[in-house]
Amino acid sequence: MRFSDYMNDWLYGAQGYYASYRPIGKKGDFYTAVSTSKFFGGTIAKHIIKRLDEGFLRPDSLICEIGAHHGYLLADIIEFIHTLRPQLLQTLRFGIVERFESLRTAQKKYFDESFGNAVALEHYSDLGELNEQSTFFVANEIFDAFGCELFYKGKIARVENHEIIFDVDDPKIAALAEKYKQDRGEIALGYESFAEAMKGASKRFEFMSFDYGELDARSDFSIRVYENHQTFPLFDEALKRSEAFGKSDITYDVNFTHVKEAYEAQKIECVQYATQLVALIEMGILDLLAMLKEHAGDAIYTQELEKVKILITPSLMGERFKMIRFVQE
């Protein structure tokens, strides 16, 4: 089978990694910005309020997370909206696009425990179910979870008995590799159809996404497996251990130029690309910390500051992770 099909089965098949709930953070295979600090979602909430004040978003907009896992990010956004502008909870709607029933059940339970009847969580299986007037879409580490082809010197990979073999011709993938100046590496699939689906989901929207990668494709392989906070290069270790299939996360660095061009092909404007450090500071994460210090005292402030440092320190998440933001007027 082609590697893209193998990866999709690994992540999204009946026994796939994302087909059931997996813990993230200390008890999981990896950390994310969401599992690091609530102020990640809080900063996005501050930005949403700004976009409401500017008139881009309507007071009855849908705030929608795509690929929410447990639902922590959207819940953090709601918590900070309640703190900063509580009256908005009376008009805004909140939803999650999630294909797996088991995860929808876990998300609903978490929201019921967190908010009771104060917030009504809407669920959608895919973007095609939406027909909105005004939406703010948000996603964290979604583009690295799209299936990809592995390309090496004109050939793409297939997998046989958990062994990668480069012997398949595919002119379309070869053309993308030439376009992005890659003689080897990952070529993502599905960005174009994802952008097209989002365009049809809402007449006006902003989409903000965070992921690791670069604006230019690296002509090398970055694909790897995360297991118990250890990283295994796919070729060296993980694929040879067939028991890793579906039980560990498989990922790769995002080519943000590919993402950008997929959206621009739909006439959706890319309005910002920045490191996570720059994005979070520009959106006001330090202002939120200052508010915390004023109202909660030095001890709690110091505790939260240490978590935020992980998000914005260049040698940690600050430079490695990027934010990309799109707008459809």
In this model, does residue 139 exceed pLDDT 70? yes
Residues 157-168 pLDDT 10s:
999 988 899 999
Beta bridge partners of 224: 233, 251
What pLDDT, on a 0 to 100 scale, did the predictor assign at position 237?
A: 61
What's the pTM value of the predicted model, to 2 decimals?
A: 0.93
Average pLDDT over residues 70-91: 96
| Helices and strands counted in the chain (H then E) | 11, 15
| Cβ–Cβ under 8 Å, residues 67 and 35 | no
> Phi and psi of 311, rounded to 5°?
-70, -35
**pLDDT of 163:** 86
Do residues 283 and 44 touch, judged by C-beta distance below 8 A? Answer: yes
Question: Which CATH number is 31-144+193-218+253-329 given?
Answer: 3.40.50.12710
Phi and psi angles of residue 91, each rounded to the nearest 5 degrees, phi first: -120, -35
Q: What is the pLDDT of residues 245-275, one digit of tens each?
A: 777 888 999 999 999 999 999 999 999 999 9
Residue type, 91: T
User: Residue 171 is inside which H or E element, if any?
Assistant: helix 171-179
Which residues are bridge partners to 213 per DSSP?
254
Spatial distance between the Cα atoms of 219 and 232, rounded to a whole number of angstroms: 19
Give the Å distances, CA to CA, from 262 to 8, 192, 193, 218, 270: 20, 5, 8, 18, 10
| DSSP element (H, E) containing 213 | strand 202-214
Residue 27: band (very low, low, confident or very high) from pLDDT cuts 50, 70, 90: very low
291: pLDDT strictly greater than 50: yes
For residues 179-204, average pLDDT: 97
pLDDT at 26 (0 to 100): 42
Least reliable range by pLDDT among 204-208, 232-236, 294-298, 325-329: 232-236
Provide the pLDDT for residue 180: 95
Per-chain mean pLDDT for the chain: 91
Q: What is the pLDDT of residues 88-134, one digit of tens each?
A: 999 999 999 999 898 999 999 999 999 999 999 999 999 999 999 99
| CATH code 3.40.50.12710 region(s) in the chain | 31-144+193-218+253-329
pLDDT for 231: 80
